[in-house]
Amino acid sequence: MNLPEVKTLLLKPDGGILYVTLNRPESRNALNQAMVGELNAVFDAVAQAPTGEVRAVVLRGAGGHFCAGADLKEMMAGGLKPAQPGEPDPIVVFNRGFGAMLRKVTNLPCVVVAVCEGAVLAGGFGFACVSDVALAHADAKFGVPETTRGLPPAQIAPFIVERIGLTQARRLCLTGAQFNGLRARELGIVHDTFADEDELQAKLGETLKQVLNCAPVANAVTKAIVLNVARQDMDFVLDDAARKFAACVRGPEAPEGISAFMQKRAPSWARN
């Protein structure tokens, strides 16, 4: 996999795991145009890599914060120029681009793990909602504060609905309420919490070990099936799933996995 050159991110490939760290700590890792562009390039590289080369992406923020959302200072300072006659509105393009990036993360064929700490606001909240596994510091600050700033959570709201349902999404989006990681776990935004770095590393390590024990193609296929639920007619989902199942049976992973189970050994893809 050819990773792009980046300035606002830190990238660390390690044994099938790609660690992606948002690296604008001076702004609590707020998303500016440069960071969104670099994230898109990284996610494109992951999506285009051979299945199994990247088994998981771990998304985290530098400096004790995950992500405080869009860089409003850049937007208001003219980082996004006014719309010109006959040209696309740059604010529309920037905002829609973030939604496209969230969909890209959702559909990655590998497991996406979000490590949520400090500010997990607006766009950062959106990243948490499109992760496959989310771990949060108990005292992390979650929220959708856009409406308190005169803005709608335009690209984030649909993913919040998918994550926690319409009723809770309406309350969070229409009140701008903020809450900690423990409450985020109760709402189903994150799956587990941690109190310190040692506990995080233990839980993250266990999660990644579980991921690496799963066959990469089977995981990619399973993720695609799960994501089709509620987006497609159920008969279509089940018919498509049956075809995917047959392809896996005839592929290299199922014979290896079944043989390993019968022989009481680890399959070839497992990493201890």
pLDDT of residue 93: 84
Q: How many other β-carbons are positioned within 10 Å of the β-carbon of residue 239?
A: 12
pLDDT, mean of residues 186-213: 98
For residue 133, the cross-strand partners are 113
Instruction: List, as one string, the DSSP characters of 75-86.
Output: IIIIISPPP-TT
pLDDT category, 79, cuts 50, 70, 90? low
pLDDT of residue 272: 61
pLDDT category, 90, cuts 50, 70, 90? confident
Percent of the chain as helix, strand, coil, to the nearest 5: 50, 15, 30
d(CA 137, CA 197): 9
- Asked if pLDDT for residue 81 goes beyond 70, the answer is no
Which of 66, 54, 50 lies closest to 18 in space, CA to CA?
Answer: 54
- Asked if pLDDT for residue 170 goes beyond 80, the answer is yes
pLDDT of residue 94: 82
The continuous run of DSSP H or E covering 243 comes out as helix 234-250
Task: Tell me the range of 121-135, 219-233, 245-259 where mean pLDDT is highest.
Answer: 121-135
- Asked if pLDDT for residue 271 goes beyond 80, the answer is no
Report domain extents, the chain. Answer: 9-212, 216-262
pLDDT of residue 230: 79
d(CA 67, CA 120): 5
Burial of 25 (C-beta count, 10 Å sphere; 0-12/13-18/19+): middle
d(CA 13, CA 20): 9
Which of 24, 45, 29 lies closest to 123 in space, CA to CA?
Answer: 29
CATH architecture of 9-212: Alpha-Beta Complex (3.90)
Residues 6+ apart with CB under 8 A from 190: 114, 116, 128, 134, 135, 136, 181, 184
pLDDT category, 231, cuts 50, 70, 90? confident
Share the mean pLDDT of the chain: 94
Residue 142, classed as helix, strand or coil, is: strand
pLDDT category, 75, cuts 50, 70, 90? confident
DSSP 122: T
pTM of the model: 0.93
- In this prediction, what percent of the chain has a pLDDT beyond 90? 84
- Asked if pLDDT for residue 80 goes beyond 60, the answer is no
- Asked if pLDDT for residue 85 goes beyond 60, the answer is yes
Q: Let me know: does 129 contact 162? Beta carbons within 8 Å.
A: yes
